[in-house]
């Protein structure tokens, strides 16, 4: 398992070692000791999974304190463009984002620490997406940033007319209009 720091401190790309043969493959998706060594002591308490079709965009989501969430995300099947946005106001990369292609083929994972908004869009016909979180879902503390905030200039790699949003995500505001507790 390789832990690769990104240009945004704390955001870490993880490339698992994949052992494959004519039967299929095996990989270690999570190892507590390796996470402690490379990232720190994270206590994941829940694993979530979604299946979405082409063009579905989920995000950019975050939870406000005391229910902030660190996430370990991966695409099990299909392909997504995964986006993490730094909301930490004291960070030199505040307001910056990074995009990663996560897929069932490359098996990469992304660790998204506290203080980030997170989202993804499905680039394949369908995708199964999994994420581990270190805090419970708290609807009263749920928030997000508009996916199409012009100041962020995120290239979602799809035509706008192909984007499919939930009613909740359609109502999200730009970063400068959103209460940011970080």
H runs (alpha helix) in 19-161: 32-38
**Residue 139: other Cβ atoms inside 10 A:** 7
What span, in angstroms and rounded, lies between the C-alpha atoms of 7 and 5?
Answer: 7
Paired strand residues for 72? 111, 132
User: Which residue in 54, 61, 97, 137 is the catalytic one?
Assistant: 61
Instruction: Map residue 113 onto helix, strand or coil.
Output: coil
* Inter-residue contact 118 to 85 (CB < 8 Å): yes
Q: Is 131 a catalytic residue?
A: yes
Structure token pair of residue 114: 């506290």
Structure token pair of residue 170: 């359609």
- The number of residues making up the chain comes to 182
User: Which residue in 97, 108, 118, 131 is the catalytic one?
Assistant: 131
Q: Is 114 a catalytic residue?
A: no
Map tokens 């749920």 to a residue: 142
Catalytically active residues are: 61, 131
């Amino acid at each position: 398992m390789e832990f690769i720091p990104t240009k945004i401190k704390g955001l870490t790309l993880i490339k698992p070692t994949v052992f494959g043969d004519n039967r299929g493959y095996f990989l270690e998706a999570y190892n507590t000791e390796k996470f402690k060594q490379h990232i720190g002591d994270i206590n994941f308490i829940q694993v979530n999974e979604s299946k979405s079709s082409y063009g579905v965009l989920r995000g950019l989501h975050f939870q406000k304190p005391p229910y902030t969430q660190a996430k370990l995300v991966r695409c099990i099947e299909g392909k997504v463009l995964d986006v993490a946005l730094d909301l930490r106001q004291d960070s030199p990369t505040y307001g910056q984002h990074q995009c990663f292609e996560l897929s069932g083929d490359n098996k990469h994972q992304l660790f998204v620490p506290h203080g980030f908004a997170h989202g993804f869009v499905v680039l394949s016909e369908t995708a199964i997406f999994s994420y581990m979180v270190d805090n419970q879902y708290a609807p009263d503390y749920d928030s997000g940033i508009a996916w199409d905030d012009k100041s962020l200039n995120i290239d979602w790699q799809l035509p706008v007319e192909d984007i499919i949003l939930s009613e909740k995500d359609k109502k999200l505001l730009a970063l400068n209009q959103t209460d940011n507790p970080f």
